[in-house]
Structure formats: C-alpha cells, structure tokens
Structure 1
Amino acid sequence: MPIKLIIADDDAIVREGFKMILSMDEDYEVLYCAENGEEASKYCREHEVDVALLDVRMPVKNGVEAAKEICSNTATKVLILTTFDDDEFIMDAIKNGAKGYLLKSNPPDKIKDAIRMVKSGNTVIQDIVFDRIKEGLGNTKNNKLDKNLFSKREIEIIESISRGLSNRQIAKELYISEGTVANYITSILDKTGLEHRTQIAIYYLT
C-alpha cells in the first residue's frame, strides 16, 4: 500500500516538482497539494493522510503552526522540508510534533527515505539541522543528561529513543507495553524539564 502524502508549499514550482518526483514512484501517493499551512491542516483533519510534507515559510499559516495543528488533531506524521535552517523554526517545529526536518536541497532518494522513516514512527533530522540544535542546547544551563536521575529502565528507554525507535519498537525490544513506554517517557520529560522526545535524543547524544 503506498504512503499517502500531502505537499504544502507556497511556491507552485516546488509543489509540482515534489509531486512529479513522488508520483513517479508507486510507493507514494500524493493526495493533495496546498498553498499554505491552513489548507494543509484542514485537509489532514478531513482525510486520512500518512505524511504531510510542509514548507516552513508559508502565508496564512506557516509550517510550524500547521505542524502543531496536524500533530494535535490527526494521526498524520509531519516532515518539514525547507530551504532554511533557522534555529527558531527548527526547535518550534520539533516541539510542535514534527517527526522530521530536512532541507529541500536533498536528493529525491534521501527525501523518500525520510518519508518512509517518518511514516514508521521514527524521527529524521538532517546533520546540519542537528548541529544547529546542538549549538542552541549548548547555550542552555544544562546540555547533558544526568544519568544518576534515571532508573536502569529509563536509561534503556532514553538509549532507544536516541536510536530513533518508535514507542512500538521500544516496547517490542524491551518486552513491555506501549503504555508503559509512554509512562517512562513522561517520567523522563518530567525529570529533565524537556518538552519532546526528540530533545531527549539530542541531549543524550550531545
């Protein structure tokens, strides 16, 4: 079954370019192309979409705002594709639930791989973007997880998150339920003051 996608970008050439590239591959089905984040969010609320490819800078509602609405109200995974590696947008997109953040300059095969990974529940962040996030974290009071705060199981969860595993994959690997995994993640977030599982991975790896 092909991965069902929508593409949101205010540049018609970019929209049609991505649509053409992805539509040529039978593993992907482009359901809709939106000119702004509002249209993308509305479509995802009304239809079953696997992955939404969102540009950051769009009129009416930008990609970060649309990501928040889509992730809060639907099962659609969000992958941000942009020409910008702006720190503020990166962090806000991740906080709002985006599962991936890549630059549009990537070759089609890399973008396709990212779509598949995001669809599977994994997080994809390009190296240059990851480096910018680490720089931002380096300016915070604590940029390292204190492992003494955590139980052995919590450390296992943190290490699994850092490998990009979804809750389901972690549960299968550790022989526990997905609900238990979610509870551990909530505990880890509470102990660290972090807001999102991706931040856990970044802190663990830096």
Structure 2
Amino acid sequence: MEKINVIIVDDNSFIREGMKIILNSYNEFIVMGIFHNGKEAVEFCESNQVDVALLDVRMPVMNGVEATKLMTERTSAKPLILTTFDDDEYILEAIQNGAKGYLLKNNDPEQIRDAIRMVHKGQNVMQNAVLDKIKLNLLKKKAPYKIDRELFTEREISIMELVAKGLSNREISKQIFISEGTVANYISTILSKANLKHRTNIAIYYLTGKEE
C-alpha cells in the first residue's frame, strides 16, 4: 500500500502531538514532522517530499493561510486546513491560496483520515459547515470573478453563481424561469467545460477559477 507523507502544523503542542498519535495509528500515513508555525513547514516542504500538509490557521511567525500560498507556489505539498476557526474570511482566502480542503478540528479521526486520502488523490474536501460559510458569504456580496469568462455563456455564469449560493436545481429553475431539466443540462455543460467531476466543486471553481 502506498504511504502518504504528512506533516502537522499547529502552534498548540497538545494538538500537534495528539494528531501525530492519531495519524501514526493508521498504516497508510508517515508523519514526517510536526511544526509550530507556517514558516518552518514551508521550508521543510521545499526540501522534502511532503504529500499532504495539515495546517492550522492562526499561528505565530506565519499563519496557515500564508503558508498555503507559499506551499502551493513553491512545493508539491497539498495543503489541508484543519482548524477550530470557521471564519469565512479565512475559508475564502485559504481556498484562493490553493488549499485543497478545509475541515474543522472537531471531526472524528476517521473523517480526517478520509480527507487526507482524498486530498492526496487530488480531490477537494469541504465539509458542509464550511460550504455553508462560503454560501453565506456569496449571498452577502457578489463574488469576484476568478473564472475565465470567455469559456462560459452569461447564462452558464449566472447558474454557476446560483449553484455556489447553495440553490437546488428546482430553486434555480424558478429563479431564472427555465425547467429543472434545462438547469441540469447547463450544469452538465459547466462541469464538462471546467473539467469538474462533481456539482459540489462548482462553488470552489467559481471563487478561485481552479479545477482542483
């Protein structure tokens, strides 16, 4: 079985050590190191083959959001934000900086394990509480366009925005006066154009313009 190289980055020693014990209990993980700030983690990733970096948000010297940006730009490590803070400002910034997932620390070990596996495979991981924060943010203000507008029609872009706000196909159909079947067809076209596999990825893609 392929081993997944993981690092743990958190300024709380209890969290660091606890997470290390949890991950070491699974045979598929190798915990390569534990760090108390983002700067140390980025430097380690620059000189070591790290697959997934578990990052807290609020840390001294360099926080998890800043570390995510540098890891994405300079290394092959996939950042996975793991935090007690579900502030939508951090969520959006972390995603835009290249985070592959955003989970709250109150998840059980099995969920964290599954999230690491999925991120390692190149999938995005967003738990419902985090997606709800993104939707709320989109409802409060119009999201900046990060997507390639030339790739989509205006109708497709409007549907992407409504999907990102959390509307169902039925709700979208009522809002823009087309059938649910037509909405489903538009979503299929959007997924194909954006090279996305799942409807839930549309919100992230709409915000960041990134396929992963």
* TM-score over 0.5 for the pair: yes
SS at match of 1:146: helix
* 3-state SS in 2 of match to 1:59: coil
Confirm or deny: 8 A CA contact 1:87 1:133 kept in the other structure. Answer: yes
Q: Tell me the TM-score normalized by structure 2.
A: 0.73
| Partner SS, residue 98 of structure 2 | coil
- 1:184 paired residue number: none
- After superposition, the C-alpha distances for 1:79-122 in whole angstroms (9 at most, x for unaligned) are 00000101110000000000000000100000000000000000
Aligned equivalent of 1:162: 198
After TM superposition, list the pairs within 5 Å mapping 1:126-141 onto structure 2. 126-141=127-142
CA contact (8 A) 1:122 1:164 kept: no
Distance 1:148 1:28 in 2: 40
The 5 A counterparts of 1:20-169 are 20-141=21-142, 146-147=155-156, 154-158=190-194, 160-163=196-199
The answer to whether the 8 Å contact 1:123/1:164 transfers is no
Count the aligned residue pairs. Answer: 172
- 1:159 Cα deviation from its structure 2 partner: 7.4
Paired residues of 1:6 and 1:51 also in contact (CA < 8 A)? yes
* C-alpha distance 161-92 of structure 1, shift in aligned 2 (>3 A): farther
Displacement after TM superposition at 1:44 (Å): 0.6
Consecutive unaligned residues of structure 1, counting only runs of 5 or more, are 166-188, 202-206
Q: CA deviation at 1:142?
A: 6.7
8 Å contact 1:8–1:53 — kept in the other structure?
yes
Could you report, residue by residue, the CA deviation over 1:151-178 in whole angstroms, capped at 9, with x for unpaired residues? x85542447343578xxxxxxxxxxxxx
Bigger radius of gyration: 2
**Cα distance in 2, alignment partners of residues 197 and 40 from structure 1:** 24
Determine if contact 1:161/1:197 at 8 Å carries over to the other structure.
Answer: no
Separation (CA, whole Å) in 2 of partners of 1:15 and 1:142 = 35
> Segments of 4+ in structure 1 off by > 4 A?
152-155
Across the aligned residues of Structure 1 and Structure 2, the Cα RMSD in angstroms comes to 2.7
Equivalent residues of 1:82, 1:102 under 8 A apart: yes
Q: Quick one: percent identity of the two aligned structures? A: 46
Q: In 2, Cα distance between the equivalents of 1:148 and 1:79?
A: 28
Over 3 Å counting, the alpha-carbon distance change for 1:163 and 1:31 in structure 2 is farther
Give me the whole-angstrom Cα distance separating, in 1, the residues matched to 2:143 and 2:65.
26
TM-score, normalised with respect to structure 1: 0.75
The one-letter code of the counterpart of 2:192 is E
